[in-house]
Amino acid sequence: MTDQKRPATDGPAPDPAAPASPLPPGAGSPLQPGPPMSVNAPITDTSINRSALMVGAVIAVLVVIVVLVILAALLGRH
């Protein structure tokens, strides 16, 4: 490590738990208890499963349509 001089302190460090000392930013209890208003309630597993099922069904239908179009193009050339 490097040998750097550390600044001298004037006495002991202030106690953050002391009532007279100001708290650093972000310390202490929140002004309003609970989660922030921007946080929504968690969604259920059935909503996730339903969404995944719908996305999967749309993808399956698109794959079938693409395969049918390719087959029609190949078999339509006589």
pLDDT digits (tens, 9 = 90+) for 25-74: 878 777 778 777 777 888 888 888 999 999 999 999 999 999 999 999 99
For 4-35, b/e burial (b = at least 16 CB within 10 A) is eeeeeeeeeeeeeeeeeeeeeeeeeeeeeeee
pLDDT of residue 57: 98
Residue ranges per structural domain of the chain? 45-78
pLDDT band at residue 4 using 50, 70 and 90 as cut-offs: low
Helix ranges restricted to H, 1-78: 45-75
pTM of the predicted protein model:
0.46
pLDDT of residue 3: 57
pLDDT band at residue 20 using 50, 70 and 90 as cut-offs: low
